[in-house]
Amino acid sequence: MEKLIVITGGTKGIGKALVLLFLEQKYQVITCARNANDLENLKKELPQDQQSRLYTMPVDVAQRTQVAQFSQFILELKMPIAALINNAGLFIANTIHEEDEKNLEMMLNTNLYSAYWLTKDLLPTIIAQKNGHIFNMCSTASITAYTNGGSYCIAKFALYGMTKVLRQELKEKNIKVTAILPGATFTDSWSGTDLPEQRFMPAKDIANAVWHAFQMSHSTVVEEILIRPQLGDIG
């Protein structure tokens, strides 16, 4: 039976690189994004055989009701879930003492609760399968306090903690859990920067790291991958 890869935020940056990689590896893939046009354009870029293996749905992952609808769509496909990759996220640079209080709620909903909600919705099915792999796209901001990280750092620290808890809860159930902690990656989050592209990591490198962790034998799990630009962090 064909297996399904679930990837949130799959139209740009790391998410798009993940979608393309898993489609190239002949998996069925389902992804979401807020912008329906971006999802349509993603599909148009693909060869015909990959288009038929990509399922999409417009979703604002910061909204619980929309995540629930996405979960239902996934489950209605009735395919084994080989991997859930909680990739969707949002970055707004600011300091805690200067940012609007609403930033914290926005960062938590997008970067933490979205992963929590979708994982909760799909876990009964994944546990019943007695196998599967959950990847949470954390960040170096999950372990490093950046001056302009503000609520983004708070949310990413929390996501990293959630990933560690899930690992403990699910290891006896044959479910792998991996935290991905990338540093500065050349995505839309850095649009407008004066820094050269070579100062950043390509999104494809992060996708390849996920793929190699996914390929490990059943008896092995990569618990976390910390990956930075060669010259170190930015900011």
Distance CA 90, CA 88 (A): 7
Q: What integer pLDDT is reported at residue 146 of this predicted model?
A: 86
Task: Answer yes or no: is 232 within a domain.
Answer: no
Total-model pTM: 0.95
pLDDT per position as a tens digit, 161-218: 999 999 999 999 999 999 999 998 877 766 667 777 788 999 999 999 999 999 999 9
Please tell me the total count of domains within the chain: 1
Instruction: Answer whether 184's CB lies under 8 Å from 190's CB.
Output: yes
Task: Answer yes or no: is 195 within a domain.
Answer: yes
Q: What integer pLDDT is reported at residue 96 of this predicted model?
A: 84
Q: What integer pLDDT is reported at residue 190 of this predicted model?
A: 62
Phi, psi of 201 (to 5 degrees): -85, 145
pLDDT per position as a tens digit, 10-62: 999 999 999 999 999 999 999 999 999 999 999 999 999 999 999 999 999 99
Distance CA 207, CA 200 (A): 15
Task: Answer yes or no: is 117 within a domain.
Answer: yes
pLDDT per position as a tens digit, 95-145: 889 888 899 999 999 999 999 999 999 999 999 999 999 999 999 999 999
Stated as kind and residue range, the H or E segment containing 119 is: helix 114-129
Task: Answer yes or no: is 235 within a domain.
Answer: no
Average pLDDT, whole number, for the chain? 94
Q: What integer pLDDT is reported at residue 167 of this predicted model?
A: 98
Task: Answer yes or no: is 234 within a domain.
Answer: no
Task: Answer yes or no: is 140 within a domain.
Answer: yes
Full residue range of the structural domain in which residue 160 is found: 4-227
Distance CA 31, CA 42 (A): 10
Task: Answer yes or no: is 233 within a domain.
Answer: no
Q: What integer pLDDT is reported at residue 119 of this predicted model?
A: 98
For the domain that residue 208 is a member of, what is the CATH number?
Answer: 3.40.50.720
- Looking up tokens 């950046």 gives 146
Q: What integer pLDDT is reported at residue 94 of this predicted model?
A: 87
Q: What integer pLDDT is reported at residue 89 of this predicted model?
A: 95
Of the candidates 87, 172, 75, 85, the one whose C-alpha atom is nearest the C-alpha of residue 127 is 172
Task: Answer yes or no: is 76 within a domain.
Answer: yes
